[in-house]
Amino acid sequence: MTDKTAGLEEEQLLHFVFGGELQELQGMSFRDLESLDMVGIYPNYETAHSAWKAKAQQTVDNAHMRYFIVHMHRLLDPDSDSHA
């Protein structure tokens, strides 16, 4: 098997990374929904976590800025046993 086909056999567990400025530090409401930073969709948790960490570190000086990882594979297939 070549490296090119090796990645095709892995199960995709999609994760979405996004962030924005919160209205309150303890809340979950964003100040401006139109300015949310849609970082991207990733094929697994590890790559999503790397993207999340990079964005979180870039905005460390803004206490209201938060980034999140959404487990899209759980939303797309809630009965699945794959919850990585």
- At residue 8, the pLDDT reads 54
Is there a contact between 74 and 83 (Cβ–Cβ < 8 Å)?
Answer: yes
**Nearest CA to 51 among 13, 74, 18, 12?**
18
Of residues 81 and 7, the one with the higher pLDDT is 81
* Domains observed in the chain: 12-76 (3.30.70.2400)
Task: Give me the chain's average pLDDT, please.
Answer: 88
Provide the whole-model pTM.
Answer: 0.79
Tokens of 56: 């979180």
- At residue 62, the pLDDT reads 95
Instruction: Render pLDDT for 26-84 as a digit per residue (tens, 0 to 9).
Output: 999 999 999 999 999 999 999 999 999 999 999 999 999 999 999 999 888 887 755 55
DSSP of 16-52: EEEEEEBSSTT---BS-GGG-EEEEEESSHHHHHHHH
